[in-house]
Chain A
Amino acid sequence: MPRLSSALRSAALAASLIASSSLVPAAEAAEAATRSAKQYIPIATYRVGAYASSGTPVWGGTIDYLRYINEVEGGINGVKLVWEECETEWAVEKGVECYERLKGGREGSPAPLFLPHGDPISKALTEKSVADKIPLLTTGYGRTEAIDGRVFPYSFTVLFSFWSEASSAVNYIAEQVGGKDKLKGLKIATVYHDSPYGKETQVPLDLLAKTYGFENIQIAVPHPGNDQSAQWARIRQIKPDWVFLRGWGVMTPVAIKTAAKTGFPVDHIIGGIWSGSEEDVRPAGSVGKGYLAITPFPAGAEFGILKKIKAAIVDQGKSDLKDLKSFGSVYYNSGVIETIIAVEAIRTAQARFGHRPLNGEETQWGLEHLVLDEARLKELGADGLVQPLRLSAKDHEGGGAGKVLQWDGAKWTIVSNGWVKSDRELLLPVIYERAAAYAREKGITPRSEDTAEAGAK
């Protein structure tokens, strides 16, 4: 018997090993609540690992905006912000550990929301967040069906879901060829990262192809995508009119380079949200010139709020960025945009629940009642940077439009005429259908919009 008994004994030993570094006990946290009036915001980050290069600028934007709110605006209605990072390396288990560690709040403030920063992490947290009543804010990633807040009350796929991404890309192509009726007969090849994220656009593109009559070609690139000679040889054979590139990490620069060397015109490739940053194009070198990308995170340092951040934070040496070259980049701006949404949701909720640190349930109400119209965006200095948003229990996306950027060899310029909208009226019924199917499979009773309202009281 010695082996089995020592097995279990060692388990206990391991447990006592980490007991020393356990959580703050709940009682202590509650007591601290009375002294502190700071709003805590937990942030999952990946500064290490395979995707660190794309993550680091995002946290720069996130943290710089939080600092800006504290230092220039004195917090949200006087409630200062404190935040905490947790390293996930983009791995699901680490993300779950972070979420569990941070969800309890700090220094008396509950966690108002969680920024998972990672598509697989956000999926793994879908149910846990409902049990804990902590909204997951995912901008430009996350489960598309979560747009239906009646089934996914605590998942917020705000701004631009993968389905909208695909639809807006098609609509941009339509603009270029002279109208949606001209899409008929076009060949649009989607080169995608062969992962759940990469496959997300297959269903909507299928639907759009049937609607508009273009030929929908799907070409998978296996992870990590550091050799794509075969895929682009196929493209050379098929000769598509446009390529929609949905990459991740190293796949994007390799795709651009391989496209160039097989002679495919780079200015007919439209990158998706995660193929459209400086970090994606720069490694491709000079051949990346002319490459397009559709994104909800327009690049540029000339937006009002960015100028303010530059003056108050960056120029004062208080920026989180180590490499200031990233200021105003796509990923930096994505951090700013995401944080604007988080802060405005808290502000909206404060209007109802009072100027104090809020919990997840209250912030969820704030998110579902978030209105960022043109006027409000102008006040924030975020017009042109953030698309107009109006969230509700039935619509956790709110916007569904992107801007098209073009790489000029050194920086992105916006080439689309404002925001390119997606065909939401076409896609939403299908999304609701899929959400309902999910609800059936999981035995969830969807909220009606009235119960959503009542639940928040």
Chain B
Amino acid sequence: MSFFLETLAGGLLAGVMYALVAIGFVLIYKASGVFNFAQGAMVLCAALTFVTLTERDVPFWLAGLITLAIMVTLAVAVERIVLRPLVNRSQITLFMATLGLSYVIEGGSQFVMGASVHELDLGLSDLPVAIGPIQLSSFDLVAALTAGALVLALWLFFERTRIGVSLRAVADDPQAALSIGIRLPVLWATVWAVAGFVALVAGLLWGARQGVQFSLTFVVLKALPVLIIGGFTSITGAIVGGLIVGAADALAEIYLGPLLGGSVSTWFAYALAVAFLLVRPAGLFGERAIERV
């Protein structure tokens, strides 16, 4: 039993890490209606910028600020140059555009900062901690707390500020929102900037886990099932979806993997997502009704 609990807990904590990436997707999806595949490249870019700066003895906080400034600039530029001209185009076109964008960001980051792998030490120890009968990682707990704090902050930001209310208005009905004087460009820029910030946080935590290198971009592959399960438009959904995917992956790998030859987690989350989609097309917390026959 304790082994089951431990697997479950490990999976849930891994799920938090997926959720961190998924939140970035949700923000942009809410504002621009696009599944932003370049989020992975943004995570890489943020982590790489940060670690390049700290390796040149820039203090931690200053490196964070500079990186944040760069990410915000990047996000706003992307919104201006790539997405605005593509307004009203099909979702798959937007998606492919962000895929092209990820090539540009990946190439650009590596052009400027090189392709070497960097160690990122956030000063968090990563040793086993025993909580009752189960053993967890202290680093993963910190990551989970960070994600929790981030969600809370974002929730406050989007529920309690004018920007947040405007965003919901736009998501509900762009035309009506425009007619009551919501300035879309400002709104878009803000949300993209926040997404850049989320990319930085995700990049730091993932980078500390696996080293800062190109494969940070792979984290997006797990974000799509998280979003389908949680709903494309809900931050809470991203967290819950992440937890479900993390736990399901871990349990499937442990209990299903040996029966089927292992590596079931490559597809299990997607299969689960399809099941959710068939039963509940808007996702658990999705707001917008999704087309359905």
Contact = CB atoms under 8 A, between A and B. Distances in A.
Q: Are A and B close enough to touch in the complex, i.e. CB under 8 Å?
A: yes
Interface of A: 47-54, 56, 194, 218-224, 226-227, 229-231, 233-234, 236-237, 249-250, 253-254, 257, 260-263, 279, 282-285, 287, 322-323
Nearest to B254: A230
A432 B156 CA distance: 67
Interface string B96-127: 00000000000100100011111111000011
A323 B116 contact: yes
B190 interface: no
B117 A282 contact: yes
B215 A261 contact: no
Given A231-B253, A282-B119, A237 B213 contact: no
A332 to B, nearest CB: 13
Interface in B1-19: 3, 6-7, 10-11, 13-14, 17
Given A220-B263, A227-B17, A287 B218 contact: no
Interface in B81-95: none
Nearest to A279: B117
A111 to B, nearest CB: 27
A253 B213 CA distance: 11
Nearest to B7: A233
A283 B254 contact: no
A322 B116 CA distance: 10
25 contacts: A52-B110, A53-B214, A194-B266, A219-B262, A220-B257, A222-B262, A222-B266, A223-B266, A227-B249, A230-B265, A233-B7, A234-B254, A236-B6, A250-B213, A257-B126, A260-B127, A261-B139, A263-B135, A282-B117, A283-B118, A283-B212, A285-B121, A287-B127, A323-B114, A323-B116
Interface of B: 3, 6-7, 10-11, 13-14, 17, 107, 110, 114-121, 126-128, 135, 137, 139-140, 206, 209-215, 217-219, 222, 249-251, 253-254, 257, 261-263, 265-266
A257 B257 contact: no
* Residue among B10, B11, B114, B206 with the highest chain A CB neighbour number at 10 A: B10
Given A230-B7, A254-B209, A52 B214 contact: yes
Nearest to B137: A261
A283 B211 contact: yes
B222 to A, nearest CB: 8
A194 B262 contact: yes
Contact of A233 (B107, B217, B254, B261): B254
Contacts of B215: 50, 224, 226, 249-250
A309 to B, nearest CB: 21
Contacts of B217: 50
A129 to B, nearest CB: 28
A261 to B, nearest CB: 4
Given A250-B211, A283-B117, A283-B210, A263 B128 contact: yes
Nearest to B17: A227
Contacts of B137: 261
B128 A48 contact: no
B263 A194 contact: yes
A287 B121 CA distance: 12
